[in-house]
Amino acid sequence: MPSHLTGVFIGSHAVAQRLVTADQLRQRSWRRVVHGVYADPALEVDHRLRCTAVALLLPPGAAIGGHSAAAWHGAPFAGPGDPVTVLRPPTVEWKGPRGVRTHRTLLAAGDVQRQDDVPVTTALRTAWDVAALEPLATAVAALDGMVRAGTVGLPELHALAEGGAGRRGVVRVRRAVPLVDPRAESPPESWVRVALRTAGLAPQPQYEVWAGGRFLGRVDLAFPEARLAVEYEGAYHFAGTQIARDDVRLAGLVAAGWRVIRLSAADLRDLDAVVARIRTALAA
């Protein structure tokens, strides 16, 4: 494999520059990221790589935006299989390859910046589009991460929502912004919190539990008056000695009179069932 074809590149450009033949491109181990764009197989295929590949195809005036851009502003990247969000001005007709979701919208000159050589929307413009375009839980999780990272502030978000009268998506933005809480430390925590809040429950994120002046631990979500904690156990929970440390911490909470509901990725497939389970525990 020629060293100058490592990274991400447009296949037709490489062929035109005689860096590789069309047959070699098909037969060798370069990985096609999106139609027409290839990558070194040593690179991890994640959403960031797919955004980088799509960026090579963008027409002038278009940019990576929404949930795809949010990761450049402090939110976790969207999933590897999620569509890459592209914003295009009304004058630009471009659908993009499979795996790209385009939105026709006005983009002001100050709405786009370059990050890692990729044109992405600025933090505040991204915040609006995330809230306006994504499902509520996805939007709030991304905004939680952006505020936690300091790329946007809560006052800015509230001003954005309040001043958005007449803009497309304002109803969705005004629903999402009041739910944003930067104390959340992961998207699953945000998803569960949003499900609970929209069901009329009010958990406290990242709550510190003390007993007799002794710190017992911090839990993902808590209902202090009911002494009920909700913990999400992601893959990190099972890494190294983490599972043993977590079990000791949770045992201490139970000994102090707390009940603990432990959630896994499988539980998140049915958040209505999670809400019902927590509501039942609160009523007990």
Summarised one tens digit per residue, pLDDT across range 119-129 is 999 999 999 99
Under the banding of pLDDT at 50, 70 and 90, the label for residue 3 is very low
pLDDT for the residue 235: 53
Domain assignment present for 52:
no
Domain assignment present for 196:
yes
Task: Note whether 96 and 113 are same-domain residues.
Answer: yes
Closest Cα partner for 74 from 132, 40, 110, 120?
120
What is the biggest distance separating any 2 CA atoms in the chain, rounded to whole angstroms?
73
Q: How many independent structural domains does the chain possess?
A: 3
pLDDT for the residue 242: 55
Task: Note whether 129 and 147 are same-domain residues.
Answer: yes
Domain assignment present for 99:
yes
Whole-angstrom CA distances from 205 to 150, 172, 183, 262 are 18, 23, 6, 15
pLDDT of residue 244 exceeding 80: no
Average pLDDT over residues 135-147: 97
Residue where a domain terminates, one of 151, 179, 207: 179
- Which range among 18-32, 38-52, 83-97 shows the weakest confidence by mean pLDDT? 18-32
Residue 110 in contact with residue 144, Cβ under 8 Å? no
Average pLDDT over residues 161-183: 95
Find the helix or strand (DSSP H, E) in which 8 lies.
strand 8-10
pLDDT of residue 234 exceeding 90: no
Residue where a domain terminates, one of 120, 152, 179: 179
Domain assignment present for 44:
no
Print the domain residue range for 21. Answer: 3-39
Task: Note whether 160 and 201 are same-domain residues.
Answer: no
Residue 256 in contact with residue 209, Cβ under 8 Å? yes
pLDDT for the residue 102: 97
Task: Note whether 199 and 268 are same-domain residues.
Answer: yes
Task: Note whether 13 and 67 are same-domain residues.
Answer: no
Residue 207 in contact with residue 201, Cβ under 8 Å? no
Q: What is the chain's mean pLDDT, rounded?
A: 91
Average pLDDT over residues 40-61: 94
pLDDT for the residue 250: 86
**How big is the chain, counted in residues?**
284
The span from the CA of 185 to the CA of 162, in Å, is 26
Under the banding of pLDDT at 50, 70 and 90, the label for residue 4 is low
Task: Note whether 175 and 198 are same-domain residues.
Answer: no
User: What does DSSP say about strands 63-64 and 37-39: parallel, antiparallel, or unpaired?
Assistant: unpaired
Burial label for 260, CB within 10 Å (0-12, 13-18, 19+), is: middle
Domain assignment present for 49:
no
Task: Note whether 69 and 154 are same-domain residues.
Answer: yes
pLDDT for the residue 1: 46
